[in-house]
Each structure stands twice: as C-alpha cells, then as structure tokens.
Amino acid sequence: MSERQPDSVASMAMLPREYHVMFETEQEYWWYRGLRVMVNELLARYAAADGSTRILDAGCGTGKNLQMFLERGDAWGVDIAEQAIRFCHRRGIPPERALVGSVLELPFPNQFFELAFSFDVICNIQNDVAAMAEIQRTLKPGGRLIAQLPAYEWLWSAHDVAVGHKYRYTAESLRAKLERAGLQIETLTYVNTLLFPFIALLRLARRPAARDDAQSDLVPLPRVVNHTLTRLFTAEMRGALERRMPFGISLLAIARRAD
C-alpha cells in the first residue's frame, strides 16, 4: 500500500488555529518535552561545543526548538506560515533568524549548514523528495539532516488532517525517498514505541474528519497525566539514539550528505 494520501487530503495545509495551540503547549506538553531531550542529545553529538555549527530548522513552527538551536549554534529557522514566524518573534527570536519561506526554496546558498533539523514538516509537502533534496543542497559535504516524521498510513487520523500531513511513512519508504534525494542513511529507527498502543488506539478512534472540524492531539491534559507521559516519553527518548526499534508512532532519520 502506498503511503501517499488521496488528493483531497494531500491538498490540505496546517490549520491556522494549530499554530496557536503549538505556541501555548510547546513548553510543558509531554511530547515536546521528550522531543527536546532527544534534540539535546543530538546537539551534544553533532554540534561543536564552541557554538560555531551552522544549523537549519526546516519548518521551525512557533520557534521553541529554534531557541535551543540558537543557544547551541549559529542557527536559522524557516517556515512557510507567516503566523508561525510571528510566534517565533514573540519568543524573542531575531527577525533575521526566523524567516518566512518554503522548504522547497530555502533562502540559503549551497553547502551552508553542517546540521539541518526537520520535525514533522517534510511530510506536509506534496513533493517531499524535492524538499529533502533542497535541504541536501544547503548541507556541506558530511552535513546531516535529522528528521522526525509520522509512521504508518493506517494511523491516519483527524490529527493528520489538522496539522496538514500529506504522508505517513514506513522505514522502507522513508529510506528510499532520502536516498533519492542524495542522502546516505546513518540511523533510521522508529520512536515513540513505549506509548504506541495507547496512541494507536486514540488515532484509530479519531478517524479523519472534515478539515474544518479536525483537531490535533495537542489538547490540555490533567497535570498528573501529562507528568506521567512526560516521564515515560523522556525516558524512552534519552536512549532513542542507541537502539533500533521495530515499530513506533514516528520515524527518526539521520542522513548524511556524501563527501
């Protein structure tokens, strides 16, 4: 079965209200906190200690991760949505570091970055291989794209509609697309495995809705629930780079531009 969604779904973009939800939840929501644990490990592994590493946040959203990248390197963020970039500026990110633009036409020269991060963004672009290739263009030889993307077409739900996904992937399909874009796989693993049964049941219960009615999974949770999920997810993400998991809600890929 192809991971491509029907044209009626593929034409959708992220709903504007979801940027506000993202901005309000990124600080404390369990998924974002776990993601930042993994991002810190990736930065410790791949970014220079002196802060000289040039870092791209391809699809920076409302800017919480971009803040981290600016603390650890010479970073820029790009997002297609003006609303998202306005939220970045509200966080205090300088305008010259958070830019409105397309991942298909990045406003940077060839071989400019050592690292590029992209979390659940390439899957929103119809020509996802072209987006991967455009990021590859901006990487120096040996530079790395670190991407997290949603897994399994059968998990397609109202969440995907609300946040504008066009694809969900398997490890095999993602590997093939990254290689077509001129990138060599170093790491490819499923993540968010521990909570897979719970999230899968939630997604299957929330089948695709009409676009105007769709809502993402980013809803307020009781504090004790959010705290418990945070502990479970952060514990898993601390070791995500050291093992390969056979299934999960998402895929993590680390792919290198050839010398």
Give, for 62, the enclosing helix (H) or strand (E). none
Residue 114 is inside which H or E element, if any?
strand 113-119
CATH superfamily entry for domain 7-257? Vaccinia Virus protein VP39 (3.40.50.150)
- Is the distance from CB of 233 to CB of 34 less than 8 angstroms? yes
Closest CA to 88 of 103, 109, 107, 69: 69
Q: Identify whether the C-beta of residue 99 lies closer than 8 Å to the C-beta of residue 76.
A: yes
Query: Consecutive sets of 10 residues in the chain, 259 residues long: mean pLDDT of each?
Result: 36 74 93 95 96 98 97 97 96 97 97 98 97 98 98 92 94 98 97 94 74 76 95 92 92 93
Q: How far is CA 235 from the centre of its chain?
A: 19
Tell me, letter by letter, the H, E, C secondary structure of 50-97: CCCCEEEEECCCCCHHHHHHHHHCEEEEEECCHHHHHHHHHCCCCHHH
| pLDDT attached to residue 211 | 61
> Which residues are 161's β-sheet partners?
none
CB atoms within 10 A of CB 238: 14
pLDDT at 8: 33
Question: Where are the chain's structural domains?
Answer: 7-257
The kind and range of the H/E element at 100 are strand 98-100
pLDDT of residue 213: 66
Confidence at residue 17, expressed as pLDDT on a 0 to 100 scale:
86
